[in-house]
Amino acid sequence: MDTPPAVLAEVTTPRASVTGTTGARVKQVRALERGLDVLLALREAPGHGVSLNALHARLGLPKATLLRLLQTLSAKGLVWRRLADGAWLPSLRHALARPEDALVSLAEIASPLLVELSSKVVWPSVIAVPRYDHMDIIETNSPMTRFDFAHLGPVGAKLSYLHTATGRAYLAACGDVEREAIIARLRPIDADEEGMRMLHAIIADTRARGYSNREPHHPWADRNRQTVLRDGKSSMAVPVCLPGNGTGWGGRGQPIAALNITWPTRRARVEEVAAQHLQALQAIASRIGAAALAEGFTR
């Protein structure tokens, strides 16, 4: 069988060489060079991840070759693939990675556990982290579900603290000082005390129940309110906490994120989904928090 031109070029094209300790010329390893090119391309890209198509355009390597290189680098813990959009990122859990982006590191920690959650819960989930006046989605397993409704995200989408289960779970778990600071940023200038009483009642109910949901709807016009009222979905969520310091909701520890489940409202009541899946959701959230602590994650 004839050798394919691309392979023939790889075999016959002279490679650069270096001088060994004995003075002999030592050829470079082409496969290793290609793998390092891929790793460097991921590390030099912005922190949003790089698609297979983008790597193909940048490096000029066949997509099949790139995929084999990426799978090999992934098996060695040097890169990982985000569930939400299939983008490849350098591992921030490895010494060779850039250490500055803690949120990407948390998404990397959560990603395989979201895969596990999808094997136990048919409905999709997102994990989101707190920002100044909203929650940011950092990963979702929704591409793994078979439901058309179930597209959640994308990564970077902003969720309301007031109107989403995800935001409410974090509000219920964070400390009093942080919570009041968040509420002060969200409170409308003309808000009356009834809105404040209702919000504090929602937080108290969330803590007593052990999970948050979207109801009752709050009157303040924060982001996502109209979507929550009209999209025909229901959600429940729990906080993701760093264990060990006895703070936070029920002594869970310092909250760093929130994890949800979302489903069509017509398919099940919140109480039914909670009875069936709350334990699995809490277990995955707990394991994400424990893994983050073990990796030295800090906010």
Give me the domain span that covers residue 30.
5-90
- pLDDT above 60 for 203: yes
- pLDDT above 60 for 100: no
- At 209, which CATH number? 3.30.450.40
pLDDT at position 251: 65
Which residues, in sequence order, are bridge partners of residue 261?
236
Q: What confidence category does residue 91 fall into, taking pLDDT thresholds of 50, 70 and 90?
A: confident
Q: What confidence category does residue 115 fall into, taking pLDDT thresholds of 50, 70 and 90?
A: very high
Which has the higher per-residue pLDDT, 60 or 199? 199
Which residues, in sequence order, are bridge partners of residue 50?
88
For residue 44, count other CB atoms closer than 10 A to its CB: 11
pLDDT at position 299: 65
Residues 73 and 111 in one domain: no
Residues 164 and 289 in one domain: yes
**Residue 95 domain-assigned (yes or no):** no
Q: What confidence category does residue 3 fall into, taking pLDDT thresholds of 50, 70 and 90?
A: very low
Q: Check residue 241 and report its DSSP letter.
A: E
| Tally of domains in the chain | 2
Residues 172 and 288 in one domain: yes
The mean of the pLDDT values for the chain is: 82
pLDDT at position 202: 96
What phi and psi values does residue 25 have, to the nearest 5 degrees?
-80, 125
**Residue 257 domain-assigned (yes or no):** yes
Residues 34 and 125 in one domain: no
Residues 6+ apart with CB under 8 A from 255: 130, 170, 173, 174, 239, 240, 241, 248, 249
